[in-house]
Structure 1
């Protein structure tokens, strides 16, 4: 009987040791996944999203560069316009009228530059048909815009064949402070050139002309 008890006791000890070993093995196996699930710190930061501060700074730099470029462009436009700007002649400095349609109005006088070429007498007749006369220079101050004229036009100035003096259509004598006459050859009629200068011309030659209505 004692041998049987000893045998059962031995088997029980063996089974208990086997059960304890399996329990330890199972516990060790279950601890391994928990270690694998533990998060690790990433050492590579190249793929990280930029911080809000970095984005804000980038936007601010881009807007600053854009603003500088726009300022430079606007400054160039303003400087270019200032260098190329020509002071316009005001044709309505005071009350001016009434003038025919499409005529220039300047300091209470009306002017028209006709582009068709005619002789002096034909030009005179054309001006008369518009209730006007050929151009008369009576004041460099009141007609100062004529100093900018660059082409030649008939004006109402002819030479008196008897006295040799130059006179306007209304019979008044040319004054030295009105025009400077330049002899360009034989001719008893005058062309207006520029800078208040008159040029002798054959009256039968064809030229453009300027008509004038003096409203004073």
Structure 2
């Protein structure tokens, strides 16, 4: 028969094993908890990144571009005509392309448009009444942009000069007879 001492010793050994296993179980549970939190954080990050990829793919599909031959600048497309014509013919051509003659809104756009200024092209500025200039979008010529008129311009030389062009030699604006024939610059919104 097993002695009481052996049973007591065996019980103590089992108790130590139980404590050891309990400690190891606690360590494993703690590690599992840390790993579970890490997994949950990774899943949250994955979901966030997947949503961002979806959003960027959608934006890419909406990316707007200019048609062949047109140049993009700050969200608009520009082209210099290859033929000459009156200011009204120029405007009709731009409209048939889905745009209008260029409207210059600020210094940066003026600098950009000057890159098209060969052959003194028409721009979308016209005199409504003597001394009152308006852009084709209906906005009046702002005082900030009047500095782009060439020296002594607009001068209505010889009478009937009511349409604006960029003087190729001076990189400034000039008023001219609307029936004269020049190249022109069209501007339009980009396409999807």
Could you tell me the TM-score, scaled by structure 1's length?
A: 0.50
Matched, 1:103 2:74: no
Q: 1:131 to 1:99 in 2, by over 3 A?
A: same
- Aligned-partner Cα distance in 1 for 2:96–2:141: 25
Matched with 1:152 is 120
Q: CA deviation at 1:193?
A: 2.6
Say what the alpha-carbon RMSD is for the aligned residues: 2.4
- Aligned-partner Cα distance in 1 for 2:96–2:63: 21
Q: How many residues align?
A: 120
Question: Where do 5+ consecutive residues of structure 2 fail to align?
Answer: 1-61
Matched with 2:96 is 129
**Highest Rg: 1 or 2?**
1
Matched, 1:119 2:86: yes
Render the CA deviation track for 1:110-137: whole Å, top value 9, x for unaligned.
0000120100111100000000000111
- Aligned-partner Cα distance in 2 for 1:200–1:96: 38
Could you tell me the TM-score, scaled by structure 2's length?
A: 0.55
- Aligned-partner Cα distance in 1 for 2:63–2:70: 11
Indicate conservation of the 8 Å contact 2:119/2:182, yes or no: no
Matched with 1:72 is none
Equivalent position SS for 1:211: strand
Indicate conservation of the 8 Å contact 1:97/1:105, yes or no: no
Return the structure number with greater relative CO, CA threshold 8 A, min gap 6: 2
Question: Where do 5+ consecutive residues of structure 1 fail to align?
Answer: 1-94
Equivalent position SS for 1:97: coil
- Aligned-partner Cα distance in 2 for 1:189–1:141: 22
- 1:197 aligned to 167, 172, 179, which one? 172
Q: 1:170 to 1:145 in 2, by over 3 A?
A: closer
Matched with 1:207 is 182
- 1:183 aligned to 151, 154, 162, which one? 154
The equivalences for 1:1-150 within 5 A come to 97-148=64-115, 149-150=117-118
Q: 1:124 to 1:212 in 2, by over 3 A?
A: same
- Aligned-partner Cα distance in 1 for 2:63–2:178: 32
Equivalent position SS for 2:72: strand
